[in-house]
Structure 1
């Protein structure tokens, strides 16, 4: 299709006096992964719930597979799969029964629902637990089953709202492979995540939300290029004001330092590469400013996130009104 699989223009959503979205524009081509990043309360879950027809926007428009999410909501639902932040599977059924039930509710024949369920149990490494009641599953196993259930009808567009939360490293990597396979098969994926390495690994394009607005968008490399070249990273020692660290080395940078008061980290863009390390050590010693870490590295998505939003990515709290209402 020539039209993007997901396109949103000027989305606005208010919850009482809270402006959750303030004119969000998004676009994702068919068969690609769009990563949605942002600090707590940025509006990521609200975007997902509007695109999945669970919320109506107060202004703006959105289309999924060419269908309007408000005027053609029922048709949109037939095209999409959704895995939210909380597992929606039945704890009193087995894993296999959950998938077959959801398959039947999605309109699949008994035979096809059974076949799709077995395929997904294998893909998500759940075959060994397929006939166990979910009350005996770990949190990570429930999470994987929930994502598998959202894929039972082979949707054209898949919404994954922080899908790897609660998974151990093995489970997270397994789900990454499943998401990559989805996109390779032509499924469009919108992924919200608090794991920056996840967006770096999976997303073809990334949109950064802050305070209900998209403040940057592009590929991972394009976003990193906006931040600049090498980064001098320092961490203030206990009892040392990170502002003092920033002041000691600020003149060495090619731009102003960014201070994270939560963990005492200072990030300074630099142009001189390794030579700046010695200069920084001399300046810190001259000002009697102690640090526990001093390193030079290339920019990462964490640098992008910090530079754009003024904070680091952290596990989500229920700050997004849409998330609070869905819990």
Structure 2
């Protein structure tokens, strides 16, 4: 194949539509997907039931790129939906459930028979005891948006019947701007995204099949609880609440506090997860069995096992031996946790 110059870099030259598609194809790395943030009242190309459910769904505004699937030189198509569209779902079977697919479909007359079209379509599945998704026409470039489960004899489509299937994309080297409602969608290897409302890792990269935070976030408290010769086996000194970052993570913790205990009694400092009586310890300070003087407990940074979801980290004083009580001061206290994506 001869050298070609994509649009629009030479003057006085007419370019075929394929040249524009190939330029778009190169810009988006030959990947299909929805551009995040291109929707308004609904998520970008999001599929949802009607406010008053019936046998139709709504598809939100949005912009999407579809990489042509009929020819290696076909290029990519840019689709823009500038208004919320109502899409009918066919009548339910009287016997079995079925699964329909709502998606974007492009038929290009340069590669298949018939007219060139770009539209939002519903592919109706076959009713069955164990229904499966329908297979798109190989002559059509198709991007799924949602799966709609249509139970037998139903007359309405509700939220629990619509399952989001959208994938997202960004121009090569670009950072995807993500809103909270589009938090859980997969990306492509190496893709970056920015979530301004994410309190832990607003900048993330898609790697090994999941999003991972790039930056770490520090949580800390300087409020250590004060005890006066309190004689119990476990005392809570401080706690930190860690919200769900949306991916597996580890926690590095460190702490310090002033304490005193009578001779013959030893208190260790422990960091545990969620439960004051938890046996698994994240971080440890080994006490020295002081003789009544005030000492400072200091623990170096140590890492937890891999965590998912929200958790509470508890700094506790654990009596290891003896019967004496623990005394703590409100001074020089610090309990700190730093969140990192799991390796």
Greater RCO (CA < 8 Å, at least 6 residues apart): 1
TM-score (norm 1): 0.28
TM-score normalised by the chain length of structure 2: 0.27
Which is helix-richer, 1 or 2? Answer: 1
Q: Which has the higher strand share?
A: 2
